[in-house]
Amino acid sequence: MTSSVDMPAKGGVKRFLADQMRNIAPVFTLIALIVFFATQSPVFFTVANGLNILANASITGIIAVGLTFVILTAEIDLSVAAIANAIGITMAFFTAQPDYVNIAYIPLPGFIAIILTLLAAFGFGTITAFGVTRIGIPSFIMTLAMMQIANGVSAMLVRGQIAYEFPDLITMLGSGSILGLRWSIIVCILFMLVAHIVLTYTRFGRYVYMVGGNREAAEYSGVNVRMVIAAVMVICAMCSGVAGMLGVAYFGSAQQNGFDDFLLTAIAAVVVGGTSLFGGRGGIGNTIIGLMVLGVLNNGLDLISIDSFLKILIRGLILLIALVINVYAQKLKESTG
Amino acid sequence: MGSLTGGAAAPLVQHNTTPLLEMKGVTKRFGGIAALRDVDFSILAGEIHGLVGENGAGKSTLMKIIAGVYAGFDGQMLMGGVPVHFRSAADALTAGIGMVHQELSVVPDLSVAENVFLGSQPVMAGALVDWRGMNRQARTQIASLGLDIDPTTRMGSLPVGLQQLVELSRVLFSGARIIILDEPTSALSPPEVERLFTVLRRLRAEGRSIIFISHFLDDVLAISDRVTVFRNGAKVITEATSALTKDSIISHMIGRGSIDMHMGESAELTGDDSRTVVMSVDTVSDGNTLRDVSLNLRQGEITGVYGFMGCGQIELSRALFGKIGLKSGRLLLDGKPVRFNSTAQARAAGIAYVPESRRMMLFRTEPVYKNISISILDRISRIFLKPSAERQIADSHVKDLQIRPQTTDTILGNLSGGNQQKVALAKWLTHLPKVLILSEPTRGMDVGAKEDVIRIVKSLAKRGVAVLVLSTEPETILTLADRVTVMKRGHVAREFTQGRIEKADLLAAA
């Protein structure tokens, strides 16, 4: 069918595309969305709106950083949003609340409250890690249970009420800004930078990719696979915890169901960005693009007048398309590589 | 009734010389590299056609084209004189070409009948699986291969040889007239090989054609009508088997005077009990397969463990590397009891392991240098990676072991099997391990790569490493080992320390 002359060149291009598809497709999606919304809405392509998109993505971004580690090892964490909420509420629990809030709390100095809260996040991560690596519960189920447990902790602590006060440092990082830039954006960028360096330039990062690429081979190479998986589960819980602490300050309140949207958005960001669901491929760069795609989409849909119920459906469809590309890219890679 | 499939309706005897399948001028490139160059190849109806060549010689590539795995290639493929073009393995199967891969694709937890009908279960009333009909048909199907297996048996409980025949019957059932068998005898014991051959002769008599790919030249000579030899992506010769000998095939394969034609038929053992014991296995059981296994690995010595498939060698090697736990007994390293809860602990203690399947320890989509450095990363870097050091170390191994192509950035999956095996070895060579455990170190490798691996392993032993080689191939054991332990059904059946032993001694003891 094809002429034989251009076979090698074609093979080369095809191979390159197969290799890079998971990176190229999300970038093109992002550019297309930006161009589309810029032509549809006069306020979309402005600095103020850009900062708005970044601020909205920053909390999800911190969660997505942790999830990137987990998904790179071909595991999953469904408890991220629930843990973020539970940790946000724990933060409030250690802070004096105004009189009209009918919640039990233990007022502690700010930095002690922050340390205890971080320890709580570490605790959640450790339990997940233990269940997955020592007992051998699949992460999908283990984190489903942890999601429920974290929701339970949240419910016990707030009992249907709303807490408003957080340590000053957290309030500043969550809702304050410096030179017109929100602190939450800066924190998110710092997390991404550190995560990128860890994944790309450290031994641990290499282990994460190798365990995701071929777990058995990593084990037969003498890599402590269980330790690597335990570490990513803890890292993910810690990221969720920090996102929860900043998140409640960002919203201005801590309450049951405060983070309900964040599970889907965070997983979607990682996957839309092109990190392989089968592990071993992708990274923080992909996650950033994924966050931007979702951020631009949400923001843009708000700006052009569109049925707000349709928005939910459109988000679902975009996620589905990303999943198709993700799996297809993996297949292309396997058939040509 | 009782006939195999639609395909069996073909005339029984076809003594004409019109090829059933013909490949003309086939060339296949990957990137810029030609894996096959201008190959002509044909299969007659009712023939068993042996296909031999070193790894990377092009036989697998040709077979994958025939079986529809690779859709794009230059040249022509004709079936019964008509040009055909397969887009997928399913296309090829519809046209009557089926393949049984070296790694069996059976579902161990399903019954034999379910495996025979995998994907095409007979249904009744439009939706329900017709279990009785399925079992009855499966029994007929299997019986037509001359086997008596209860179709309700769990697949995984059968020996590998029978599982392979069940898979073969599945391919037959789906109507294949040309059956490609990739290394069908590599995991089989001699009686199992004989049973397979009986089945193949029966199929030939029915007019089906079989392509028999194997490194075991004795097997190829015993069963084939014609043999095709490949070398470096080109066909060297197609010849009637009666006109060939093992020696002549080898010289066609490697294109140079054969050095070790009788390599591995017998060996002079030089076990020396005065050497220091590095690792000692003391009445070890795993509660499953292994039963009170004891043996000593000595400094500078290669200990061979021989036995048929399933004799417990695999489990023994895994236990020594901390992959499976011990039920009873103990391991001593340098005289001190050790207990490994993970492979990482075993590696830290100085034990190196190359499992029987390359897939199990290599990262196909990663470059060579990452494959080599993974097991020594903690020695090169504490926190931050040092890619230049990784590449340098990898580069010295690539040169030492003559891994081709000689670059450290090649993606591993693009290397031939022999070169991949060298990479697997290279992982452990940067810092000499105390104990090196090799499971099937030369299985499925071509003559040249085999020699290289043998040379490397021997030189490691000379440098003081205690080497343990486990294999189901007597030749491998006899070529490498200084002393031999024969295992049988999970326990040590016999030990040979010194003096001359023959292949027959090993077979008799196992």
Give pLDDT tens digits for A251-279: 988 888 889 889 989 999 998 898 988 89
Q: Tell me which range, A116-120, B34-38, B172-176, B229-233, is most confidently predicted by mean pLDDT.
A: A116-120
Task: Answer yes or no: do A333 and B362 touch at CB < 8 A.
Answer: no
Task: Answer yes or no: do A224 and B344 touch at CB < 8 A.
Answer: yes
What is the least distance, in Å, from the CA of A257 to any CA of chain B? 39
What is the least distance, in Å, from the CA of A65 to any CA of chain B? 20
In the predicted model, what is the mean pLDDT of residues B70-95? 88
How far apart CA A190 and CA A196 sit, in angstroms, is 10
User: Between residues 398 and 427 of chain B, which touch chain A (CB distance below 8 Å)?
Assistant: 411, 413, 427
Task: Answer yes or no: do A333 and B365 touch at CB < 8 A.
Answer: yes
In the predicted model, what is the mean pLDDT of residues A172-178? 86
Cis peptide bond upstream of B405, omega within 30 = yes
Task: Answer yes or no: do B378 and A206 touch at CB < 8 A.
Answer: no
pLDDT above 60: residue B256: no
How far apart CA B246 and CA B84 sit, in angstroms, is 35
Q: Kindly indicate the confidence band of residue B257, based on its pLDDT and cuts at 50, 70 and 90.
A: very low
B142 half-sphere exposure, CB direction, 13 A CA radius: 24
Measure CB to CB from residue B361 to each of A202, A220, A227 and give the nearest one.
A220
How far apart CA A176 and CA B221 sit, in angstroms, is 81
Query: What pLDDT, on the 0 to 100 scale, is given for residue B159?
Result: 77
**Do the Cβ atoms of B92 and A22 come closer than 8 Å?**
no
In the predicted model, what is the mean pLDDT of residues B263-287? 85
Task: Answer yes or no: do A210 and B374 touch at CB < 8 A.
Answer: yes
The per-residue pLDDT of chain B, averaged, comes to 84
Task: Answer yes or no: do A224 and B342 touch at CB < 8 A.
Answer: yes
Enumerate the residues of chain B whose CB falls inside 8 A of the CB of residue A202.
381, 383-385
Query: What pLDDT, on the 0 to 100 scale, is given for residue A86?
Result: 95
How many Cβ atoms from other residues are within 10 Å of residue B459's Cβ?
A: 12
Task: Answer yes or no: do B385 and A201 touch at CB < 8 A.
Answer: yes
Reported as a single tens digit per residue, the pLDDT across A114-151 is: 999 999 999 999 999 999 999 999 999 999 999 999 99
Enumerate the residues of chain B whose CB falls inside 8 A of the CB of residue A218.
374
DSSP states along B255-305: SS--S-TTTTSEEEEE--TTSPEEEEEEEEE-SSS--SEEEEEETT-EEEE
Residues 6+ apart with CB under 8 A from B408: B367, B368, B369, B372, B391, B394, B395, B398
pLDDT above 70: residue A211: yes
The per-residue pLDDT of chain A, averaged, comes to 88
**Do the Cβ atoms of A246 and A59 come closer than 8 Å?**
yes
In the predicted model, what is the mean pLDDT of residues B155-174? 81
Q: Kindly indicate the confidence band of residue B187, based on its pLDDT and cuts at 50, 70 and 90.
A: low
Sign of CA dihedral A231, A141, B110, B116: negative
**Angle (deg, nearest 10), helices B447-462 and B246-254:** 90
User: Between residues 135 and 174 of chain B, which touch chain A (CB distance below 8 Å)?
Assistant: none
What's the full length of chain A, in residues?
337
**Do the Cβ atoms of B128 and B105 come closer than 8 Å?**
no
Residue in B with minimal Cα distance to A221? B375
Measure CB to CB from residue A11 to each of B29, B321, B413 and give the nearest one.
B29
Reported as a single tens digit per residue, the pLDDT across A18-67 is: 677 778 888 888 998 899 999 988 889 999 999 999 999 999 999 999 99
Task: Answer yes or no: do A224 and B365 touch at CB < 8 A.
Answer: no
Phi, psi of B293 (to 5 degrees): -85, 130
C-alpha distances out from residue B40 to A151, A255, B57, B66, B398, Å: 68, 74, 14, 12, 35
Query: What pLDDT, on the 0 to 100 scale, is given for residue B226?
Result: 95
Most A-contacting residue of B356, B357, B361 (CB-CB within 10 A), to test interface: B361
**Do the Cβ atoms of B368 and B409 come closer than 8 Å?**
yes
Enumerate the residues of chain A whose CB falls inside 8 A of the CB of residue B28.
none
Enumerate the residues of chain A whose CB falls inside 8 A of the CB of residue B385.
201-203, 205-206
pLDDT above 50: residue B266: yes
Residue in A with minimal Cα distance to B357? A217
pLDDT above 80: residue B120: no
**Two structure tokens written together for B445:** 């490798």
Is B377 at the interface with chain A, CB within 8 A? yes
Measure CB to CB from residue A203 to each of B321, B355, B377 and give the nearest one.
B377
Task: Answer yes or no: do A214 and B364 touch at CB < 8 A.
Answer: yes
Measure CB to CB from residue A221 to each of B29, B74, B375 and give the nearest one.
B375
What is the least distance, in Å, from the CA of B353 to any CA of chain A? 7
Closest by CA position to B417, among listed B33, B58, B63:
B58
Q: Kindly indicate the confidence band of residue B12, based on its pLDDT and cuts at 50, 70 and 90.
A: very low
**Two structure tokens written together for A81:** 């949003």
DSSP summary character for residue B6? G
Reported as a single tens digit per residue, the pLDDT across A316-328 is: 887 788 778 777 7
What is the least distance, in Å, from the CA of A220 to any CA of chain B? 6
How far apart CA B447 and CA B444 sit, in angstroms, is 10
Residue with tokens 């049951």: A256
pTM for the full predicted model: 0.73
Is A226 at the interface with chain B, CB within 8 A? yes
Query: What pLDDT, on the 0 to 100 scale, is given for residue B258?
Result: 42
Enumerate the residues of chain B whose CB falls inside 8 A of the CB of residue A208.
none
Residue in B with minimal Cα distance to A14? B31
Of B13 and B358, more confident: B358
Task: Answer yes or no: do A214 and B362 touch at CB < 8 A.
Answer: yes
DSSP states along B120-178: ---EETTTEE-HHHHHHHHHHHHHTTT----TTSBGGGS-HHHHHHHHHHHHHHTT-SE
Enumerate the residues of chain B whose CB falls inside 8 A of the CB of residue A5.
none
Query: What pLDDT, on the 0 to 100 scale, is given for residue B332?
Result: 93
Task: Answer yes or no: do B343 and A219 touch at CB < 8 A.
Answer: yes
Residue in B with minimal Cα distance to A200? B385
Residues 6+ apart with CB under 8 A from B510: B306, B307, B308, B311, B486, B487, B488, B493
Measure CB to CB from residue A213 to each of B32, B366, B378 and give the nearest one.
B366
Q: Kindly indicate the confidence band of residue A1, based on its pLDDT and cuts at 50, 70 and 90.
A: very low
pLDDT above 60: residue A201: yes
Measure CB to CB from residue A202 to each of B359, B360, B384 and give the nearest one.
B384
Task: Answer yes or no: do B385 and A202 touch at CB < 8 A.
Answer: yes
What is the least distance, in Å, from the CA of B176 to any CA of chain A? 25
Is B355 at the interface with chain A, CB within 8 A? yes
Residues 6+ apart with CB under 8 A from B124: B130, B133
Reported as a single tens digit per residue, the pLDDT across B293-338 is: 999 999 999 999 998 766 788 889 999 999 988 999 999 999 999 9
Q: Kindly indicate the confidence band of residue A337, based on its pLDDT and cuts at 50, 70 and 90.
A: very low
Enumerate the residues of chain B whose CB falls inside 8 A of the CB of residue A280.
365
> A140-154, A160-174, A198-212, B182-196: which has the minimum mean pLDDT?
B182-196
What A189-194 contacts at long range (C-beta under 8 Å, 24+ apart), as own/partner pairs, is A191/A61, A191/A62, A191/A65, A191/A239, A191/A242, A192/A61, A192/A65, A192/A284, A192/A287, A192/A288
The amino acid at residue B29 is R
Query: What pLDDT, on the 0 to 100 scale, is given for residue A50?
Result: 92
pLDDT above 50: residue A3: no
What is the least distance, in Å, from the CA of B432 to any CA of chain A? 15
Query: What pLDDT, on the 0 to 100 scale, is given for residue B145?
Result: 76
**Two structure tokens written together for B281:** 């296995």
Residues 6+ apart with CB under 8 A from B452: B401, B402, B418, B422
In the predicted model, what is the mean pLDDT of residues B464-486? 90
Residue in A with minimal Cα distance to B427? A221
Rounded to two decimals, the ipTM of the complex is: 0.82
What is the least distance, in Å, from the CA of A323 to any CA of chain B? 21
How far apart CA A247 and CA A254 sit, in angstroms, is 9
Is B348 at the interface with chain A, CB within 8 A? yes
Task: Answer yes or no: do A337 and B374 touch at CB < 8 A.
Answer: no
